[in-house]
Structure 1
Amino acid sequence: MFTERIRDVAHVGSVELFTPLPDESRAFFVDLMGMSETGRRGDSVYLHAWDDYERFTIKLTARDRAGIGRTYLRAAGPEALRRRAAELPGRWVSDELGLGPVYLTQDPDGHDLGLYWETERFTPATPPALKNQADRFPGRGANVRRLDHVNYLAADTPACGRFLADGLKARPTEQIVGDDGVATAIWYTVSDKSYDLVYTDDRTGSNGRLHHIALATDTRDDILRAADVCLDNGVHIETGPHKHAIQQTFFLYVYEPGGNRVELCNAGARLVLAPDWELISWTPAERAKGQAWGLKTIESFHTHGTPPVG
């Protein structure tokens, strides 16, 4: 039965990453990914991707172990924010640089999600030549344009999926379903992009871990260049460049110095414009064939997450 979408969440705004090597992690994102620093507070440094309209894209916080802190989601408006807050357990906080009141909630796995409306717009030191982009093109490293998506590890993927669908009104677009009929990974969208938030089974049974964040580049060629940049700078390339079968994303996976997995993906990713999109399911047998062009999924893709376990 068709149900009209409630679009109370506009997009994924920013994400907080924990790192035990804050200086090295900052250098990775600034020097190699092409981001810029826009502020510091306590043990955190705020970084901006060149076409992000908000003040920061990634918040790097020094911790003893790598991992993920808050994921910030911008509401579609002040009334939309109030509606989501009325339906989700949580509390209001006003403790983030560049953001107004944030409604802080948690998914069933313990990942922190912050919903907000009021935000500080990014102001470039030197305006770009084209007034319809946020900042000047950096011309440095991978030149990442924006945050694309966040992929969480979860002890109970279906429960987290229900949280997104019921609590945030997100829509599932693709999933992997085991032979027992239970989903082991689900891709959700809150926008017109094919996916914004993803849950994947954590094979360790742990809670609150990160699989990866994804940063979008303009083109596939930017990702190929990023592979050379990472190679020359001793950054661990886990897998790729290649193309996923699920969602058809062109990808490169690397580890930033703190240990968090970072995906580079093409900004021209698929859009889901059909209001009555039908969920696509993939079987283990189909997944065993590998990625779109036959590359087998590397084993660490199923075992590495942050914070590390064991």
Structure 2
Amino acid sequence: MALAHEIAHVGHVELLTPRPEESLWFFTEVMGLTENGTDGDSVYLRTWDDYEHHTLKLTAHRTSGIRRTGLRTSGQEALDRLVASVERAGLGVGWRDGDPGIGPTYVFTDPDGHELEIYWESEWYQAPPELAPSLKNQAQAYPARGVCVRRLDHVNFLGAEVEPNVDFVTGVLGGHVTERIRLDDGTIAGGWTTFTNKSYDLVYTRDRTGSRGRLHHIAFATDTREDILRAADIFLDKGVFIETGPHKHAIQQTFFLYVYEPGGNRVELCNPCARLVLAPDWKTVTWTEAERAKGQAWGLQTIESFHTHGTPPLEDASSA
């Protein structure tokens, strides 16, 4: 069993899009990320307060979805222990050369087939003169473009079954379950896991289609709730589809707004960006089916597409 805090944080994600030019426009001009290099069909993008080379690898593909999620470890020895833990679980893929700014990377899958990677070596971002911040403890100047999201906050995977994936995160990667949903028949329909004192980093929710390896959403943090309200107006003016929100979740109490980027992937803006869980003996909060039927915190009913839309679309899921 992996030790707690061997994983430092969620580092980056690779997102697939069948509409690369439009998706790039969305993430740079609307969300406010900064381009930091290209490689073939991929563009590397970063949020302004990320210390690493990139936050998002956006790759042109025949369909949408998430290809890989990167997790930085807390050190080289932690990386070695985690690799051994994954290999004991039988889900290792093997070592790869990392993307730009990233050292040797070990690739593996969770029980549902989502691809992840762990790494330690990371090149700290050095802003060019035109992007240099006035404050030396900030990686990059505030871009003042679009929403200006601050950082990647979490990833929500869809899974054919939630429990095996949550058990993998806790038992193999050293995470902890902060909240979950248990249906009347005992099925775990959602699990929120963390590696740090954030209340969640990786989330698994049940894919009602029974499909494996799909994405529900990636989430970016804003500084304030007001930023999310302003973002809603920006999305409206730019013709970006707003799925639901702004509103407040009951689970984790996150103020949220969900949109679809042009490639079809769901993107969340969130604040507060996961609550802090400081108690070392935090007890998992379990929500019942009846409690979830009440909807979100302030009474908004959960929109039906929240349970049906995932990427890649079902017709592409088996061969993405």
TM-score normalized by structure 2? 0.94
AA matched with 2:24: R
**Aligned pair 1:277/2:275, yes or no?**
no
Moved more, 42-51 or 84-93: 84-93
SS at match of 1:161: helix
Give the equivalent residue in structure 1 for 2:171: 166
CA contact (8 A) 1:175 1:281 kept: yes
Give the equivalent residue in structure 1 for 2:120: 117
AA matched with 2:169: L
1:166 positional shift = 1.0
CA contact (8 A) 2:198 2:277 kept: yes
SS at match of 2:259: strand
SS at match of 2:290: helix
Structure 2's unaligned 5+ residue stretches are 316-320
Show CA shifts across 1:149-195 (max 9, x none).
00000001100011101111000000000101121100000111000
Tell me the distance in 2 between the aligned counterparts of 1:191 and 1:6.
8
CA contact (8 A) 1:219 1:268 kept: no
**What aligned pairs does 1:203-242 form with structure 2 within 5 A after superposition?**
203-242=208-247
SS at match of 1:153: strand
Give the equivalent residue in structure 1 for 2:318: none
Query: 4+ runs of 1 displaced by more than 4 Å?
Result: none
CA contact (8 A) 2:180 2:188 kept: yes
Show CA shifts across 1:174-221 (max 9, x none).
000010112110000011100000000001111110000000000001
AA matched with 2:184: D
1:284 positional shift = 1.0
Output the aligned Cα RMSD.
1.3
CA contact (8 A) 2:2 2:172 kept: no
SS at match of 2:198: coil
2:77 to 76, 79, 92: 79
**What aligned pairs does 1:143-182 form with structure 2 within 5 A after superposition?**
143-182=148-187
Relative distance call for 1:167 and 1:118 in structure 2 (3 A) is same
2:56 to 58, 70, 79: 58
Structure 1's unaligned 5+ residue stretches are none
Tell me the distance in 1 between the aligned counterparts of 2:256 and 2:69.
22
SS at match of 1:88: helix
1:7 positional shift = 1.3
CA contact (8 A) 1:179 1:283 kept: yes
Aligned residues: 308
Show CA shifts across 1:246-278 (max 9, x none).
000000000000000000001553100000000
Tell me the distance in 2 between the aligned counterparts of 1:205 and 1:180.
17
Percent identical across equivalent pairs? 62
Give the equivalent residue in structure 2 for 1:26: 24
Show CA shifts across 1:215-234 (max 9, x none).
00000011111100000011
Tell me the distance in 1 between the aligned counterparts of 2:111 and 2:5.
22
1:248 to 248, 253, 257: 253
CA contact (8 A) 1:5 1:275 kept: no
CA contact (8 A) 1:4 1:275 kept: no
Give the equivalent residue in structure 2 for 1:92: 95
